[in-house]
């Protein structure tokens, strides 16, 4: 009787160990993927800050982690009295989404600095030169950058930019027409696409 119980316990234990190993491998892969995704975002933000700081009369700053209610980047030109709050997104998909709460916090910041004559919320979108086609599978494509100006006349909603530069909103799970103007940044880049 004891040997039957011991065999059953051994089988249950072995099953639990196998299940843990599978879950652990998935968890490690998910963590690694999330880290790569965050690193891409940090690199894109850092690139934008460097481009602004290299442009005459501009100063730009990364404002902190995503857990803080701050825009990704604050760019200021005191001579022209211009201020931009920027949400930067980069990825390997065919669409990139900016959540409504990130647009909202950028608007709060631009509304706060009333002394600046020009205040804009810019969505800086970068589609990487590799397109994800499956888990860990990619194909080459053209690197593209878009700089869209959020129109404060629009109701705040999730904004999606496509690889071809079109934009649309998502409200209550439905696609909404959202035509955002392409913005001429104060720096040059060969990857900027104008539609």
Question: What is the rounded CA–CA span in Å between residue 149 and residue 103?
Answer: 11
pLDDT above 90 (res 1):
no
In the chain, pLDDT over 70 holds for what percent of residues?
Answer: 79
Tell me, what CATH number does 60's domain have? 3.40.1350.10
Q: Average the pLDDT over 49-76 and give the result.
A: 89
Q: Average the pLDDT over 61-78 and give the result.
A: 86
Residue 189 binned pLDDT confidence (cut-offs 50, 70, 90): confident
Task: Tell whether 55 is covered by a domain.
Answer: yes
Question: What is the rounded CA–CA span in Å between residue 177 and residue 166?
Answer: 10
Report the domain count for the chain: 1
Task: Name the pairing type of β-strands 144-149 and 158-162.
Answer: unpaired
Task: Tell whether 24 is covered by a domain.
Answer: no
Question: What is the rounded CA–CA span in Å between residue 51 and residue 45?
Answer: 10
Q: Average the pLDDT over 72-90 and give the result.
A: 96
pLDDT of residue 23: 65
Task: Tell whether 157 is covered by a domain.
Answer: yes
Q: Average the pLDDT over 57-75 and give the result.
A: 86
Say which residue, 191 or 172, is predicted with more confidence.
Answer: 172
Q: Which is nearest to 189 in space by CA: 132, 131, 146?
A: 146
Task: Tell whether 34 is covered by a domain.
Answer: no
Task: Tell whether 64 is covered by a domain.
Answer: yes
What pTM was computed for the model?
0.78
Say which residue, 105 or 131, is predicted with more confidence.
Answer: 105
Task: Tell whether 133 is covered by a domain.
Answer: yes
pLDDT of residue 40: 60
pLDDT of residue 19: 72
Strands ordered across the beta sheet of 167-171: 95-98, 158-162, 167-171, 174-177
In the chain, pLDDT over 90 holds for what percent of residues?
Answer: 64
Task: Tell whether 2 is covered by a domain.
Answer: no
pLDDT of residue 117: 96
The mean predicted confidence, pLDDT, of the chain is: 86
Task: Tell whether 4 is covered by a domain.
Answer: no
pLDDT digits (tens, 9 = 90+) for 23-61: 666 677 666 655 555 566 689 999 999 999 999 999 999
The residue segments making up the domain with residue 140 are 41-182
């Amino acid at each position: 009787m004891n040997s039957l119980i011991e065999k059953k316990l051994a089988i249950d234990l072995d099953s639990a160990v196998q299940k843990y190993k599978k879950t652990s491998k998935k968890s490690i892969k998910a963590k690694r993927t999330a880290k790569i995704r965050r690193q891409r975002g940090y690199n894109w933000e850092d690139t934008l800050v460097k481009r602004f700081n290299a442009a005459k009369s501009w100063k730009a700053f990364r404002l902190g982690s995503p857990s803080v209610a701050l825009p990704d980047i604050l760019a200021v030109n005191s001579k022209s009295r211009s201020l931009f709050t920027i949400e930067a997104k980069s990825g390997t998909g065919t669409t990139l989404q900016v959540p409504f709460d990130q647009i909202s916090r950028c608007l709060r910041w631009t509304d706060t600095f009333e002394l600046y004559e020009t205040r804009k919320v810019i969505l800086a979108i970068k589609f990487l030169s590799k397109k994800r086609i499956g888990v860990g599978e990619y194909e080459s494509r053209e690197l593209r950058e878009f700089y869209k100006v959020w129109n404060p006349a629009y109701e705040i909603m999730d904004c999606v930019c496509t690889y071809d530069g079109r934009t649309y909103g998502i409200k209550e799970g439905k696609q909404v027409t959202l035509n955002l103007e392409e913005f001429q940044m104060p720096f040059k880049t060969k990857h900027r696409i104008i539609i």
